[in-house]
Structure 1
Amino acid sequence: MVRYSVLASGSTGNAILIQTDTTSILVDAGLSGKQIEKAMHEIGVSADCLDGIVITHEHQDHVKGAGILSRRYKIPVFCNQKTWDGMEHIVGEIKTGYQEIFCTGDRMEIGNLALESFAISHDAKDPVGYCVFAGNTKISVATDMGYVNAKMKQRIIDSDALIIEANHDVEMLRIGPYPWHLKQRILSDHGHLSNETAAEILTEVITANTQCVHLAHLSAENNMPVLAHMTVKTILEQEQFKVGQEFDLEITYPDKPTKLRSVRRR
């Protein structure tokens, strides 16, 4: 049995809690330490139980609280070397023995959780997604991506729970207030996934084992929760997926955690 909650997701901060009965980790810590502690408290979990913080990439909305939590609770921080080089000035000093560097693609173990990192496409130094395993139960985190190729799909396919980016509605982005250079960046191969692209990817990676899909990193300016959910649900149902029967489709939030959900391989 694995429990997890998306504590926050969006441009203001990202953090995901994944835990078993004996091990708890954060995937990213992009809010302040106090905000992460508060979000965890809301779902009945204390931050002093954390055994590791694993980082996807060095942008502030993914690493802001990593340093303070590491120092406060003596938690090791895991990332690749280029990500560490990019975030060191944000997170500050990590105590000796609490900085864990891995190579992208490595498999590592934290308690009874096994993690596999995989390369993604984003405007960061060496960004990664993660597949987290507890026995044969699999939770995948795939956000902040400009596109997803066949190799990435192969990594996240057959997840029991999948947290995937649905950042923007293309038309809202095109007519919205962002300057053109920022719109180009978001739409590029190193930017973010649209609702439609996320749905198309899901049609290729959802299997009979998939129990829940969470749409993450929704833009406050270029998306709406109801629109993201409706767009993805419509495309999935057009491809004969039974949303709400075979699996749940849920939204994540920038300012509140999702419920602490349990999942295990069917």
Structure 2
Amino acid sequence: MRFASLGSGSAGNALVVEVNNTRLMLDCGFSIKETTSRLARLNLSPEDLAGVVITHEHDDHAGGAFKFAAAHHIPVWLTYGTLKMAERYFPRQHDLQLNVIDSHTPFSVADVEVYPYPVPHDAREPVQFVFGDGQRRLGVLTDVGRSTVHIEQQLSGCDALVLECNHDSAMLRNGPYAASLKKRVGGEWGHLENAAAADLLARLDRSKLQHLIAAHLSAKNNTPLLAKTALAQTAGCTLDWIGIADQALGFDWRQIS
């Protein structure tokens, strides 16, 4: 089982999970051309994907998903709330293969086990996901305002984690955003800040953890060093062990053994 990122941040998000010959893309906030180009960096083409799973309807996660899926005849999985809010992204004429999921019910796409779980975020019916192959588990958590007991139950014991470190609270407070946007980003339905991500990590069973990636970093209200420092202090590791999901480059394949 392995995973890689096409890019992570407010300008677009996409991540690929691979189990055997099955590859799923999580979210698609890029254009068809850009998504195809970023897949090529991972030696993949759109035809290599078995499906796309969507966390929520915000443009940086779903804005390119439906045109991309329609162009390449790739099925999509999403909650009903996300479906209703994302209809504005549909091509005018399409034959989309849409699969509505329940936010608490696992499902499989060929060899990939998919475990959705609901999260507090300012979207209609947002979910995040844990992916598995029967033995190993990758937990993904971005776009969440605060942790919950249920989130921590889902992410505990994972072999790899992609964890939101959106902002540093002081940088957000003193930064250029309007007051209303600061309130939204820093609120309980917004995005996870570095210290809160570290606190969440501290409450997880990390005994199997092989990979820890900080994701969805704000370009204006965070730095990779601040995110790495917060997580490393909790994980008890060196800074260079913490990965960063970059906006432009994502990150290359990581193997879960």
TM-score, normalization by structure 1: 0.92
CA distance in 2, matches of 1:230, 1:206: 20
Aligned to 1:47: 46
Instruction: For 1:203, give the aligned amino acid.
Output: A
The 1:109/1:230 distance shift into structure 2, 3 A limit, reads same
User: Is the partner of 1:205 in helix, strand or coil?
Assistant: coil
Instruction: For 1:110, give the aligned amino acid.
Output: V
Task: State which of 216, 237, 242 in structure 1 corresponds to 2:236.
Answer: 242
Aligned to 2:147: 148
Aligned to 1:133: 132
Aligned to 2:122: 123
Aligned to 1:104: 103
Instruction: For 1:227, give the aligned amino acid.
Output: L
Alignment check: 8 A CA contact 2:161 2:212 kept: yes
CA-CA distance at 1:259 after TM superposition: 1.1
Alignment check: 8 A CA contact 1:107 1:117 kept: yes
CA-CA distance at 1:68 after TM superposition: 2.0
- RMSD over equivalenced CA pairs, Å: 1.6
Aligned to 2:253: 260
What CA deviation, in whole Å up to 9, does each residue of 1:65-120 have, x standing for no partner?
Answer: 21122122210010011100001111335844611111111111101111111000
User: Is the partner of 1:255 in helix, strand or coil?
Assistant: coil
Aligned to 1:214: 213
**Matched ranges for 1:33-112 at <5 A:** 33-92=32-91, 95-96=94-95, 98-112=97-111
Aligned to 1:165: 164
Gap runs ≥5 in structure 1: none
The 1:224/1:91 distance shift into structure 2, 3 A limit, reads farther
Alignment check: 8 A CA contact 1:63 1:91 kept: no
User: Is the partner of 2:153 in helix, strand or coil?
Assistant: helix
Alignment check: 8 A CA contact 1:30 1:60 kept: yes
CA distance in 1, matches of 2:243, 2:96: 38
Kindly indicate whether residue 195 of structure 2 is the aligned counterpart of residue 201 of structure 1.
no
Gap runs ≥5 in structure 2: none
The 1:74/1:148 distance shift into structure 2, 3 A limit, reads same
CA distance in 2, matches of 1:160, 1:244: 18
Alignment check: 8 A CA contact 1:64 1:91 kept: no
What CA deviation, in whole Å up to 9, does each residue of 1:191-214 have, x standing for no partner?
Answer: 011101101111111422110111
**Matched ranges for 1:12-31 at <5 A:** 12-31=11-30
Instruction: For 2:241, give the aligned amino acid.
Output: D
What CA deviation, in whole Å up to 9, does each residue of 1:204-241 have, x standing for no partner?
Answer: 1142211011111000010011221122223x1xxxx4
Instruction: For 2:247, give the aligned amino acid.
Output: P
Q: What percent identity do the matched residue pairs reach?
A: 30
Alignment check: 8 A CA contact 1:65 1:91 kept: no
User: Is the partner of 1:201 in helix, strand or coil?
Assistant: helix
Instruction: For 2:243, give the aligned amino acid.
Output: E
Corresponding pairs, count: 257
